[in-house]
Each structure stands twice: as structure tokens, then as C-alpha cells.
Structure 1
Amino acid sequence: MRADVDKDTCIGCGLCPSICPEVFDMEDDGKAAAVNPDVPEGVEDSAKEAEESCPVNAISVE
């Protein structure tokens, strides 16, 4: 399972790292990034929750 953040769409709300810090973090530009794009075993549900919670649909987890 891989996670990706569309930086052009991201508004930097900070929800994804608060839901799944094992995969997402905020970068210096104020936008989110998948710092661990290969979603670790055991946090798949949290990564999907972050995807579903993104207010601008900038996250894909497949």
C-alpha cells in the first residue's frame, strides 16, 4: 500500500499527520507530505482514514 499527497491541492490543514503520523508529516512549505509512502503494516486503517478525512482530497492511499 502506498500513500501520496498532491502538493498542488494540499491546503496544509494538518489533519493527515494528526491521524497517521507514521506516514504523513508537514513540511517546511506548510504542506503535507507522505514521509513514509510505503504504508507500514498495522497503520493501513489510519492511512485510509487520513485519506478520507482530507478536506480537499489531496491524499491517495492505494
Structure 2
Amino acid sequence: MNRFNLGDTVFFIANGYHIREATVIRNGSGFCTIKFNDNETPAGTRVRESKLFQTK
């Protein structure tokens, strides 16, 4: 069972302190591919579900 669904808005902690908002574009096997909403990173990034949060 996946914690997040496609299109969900999630939050990722980068560098231990910077919170970045992203959208889930793919999920499965305990990993999510996310696309950051700030347009700094054009490609998706694959991270473990445990590194993502539903609220800021």
C-alpha cells in the first residue's frame, strides 16, 4: 500500500533544513518520483517514501 497517490503535494527536506514542495508523479516499491514545484529542477527525483511528508 502506497502512502502517497499520483498528484499529491508533498514536502521534502533538502540539506537538513530547507523544505521544498513537490508533486508525486510516480510511486511504487517504497519509492516516489517527485517533481519540485519551484521549477529549479526540471527533471523528477526518486526518493524513499519515508523522506516525504504530507504537511509542511
- The alignment's TM-score, normalised by the length of structure 2, stands at 0.29
* Richer in helix (by share): 1
State the TM-score, normalized to the length of structure 1.
0.28
- Higher strand fraction: Structure 1 or Structure 2? 2
Asked which structure has the greater RCO (Cα within 8 Å, sep 6+), the reply is 1
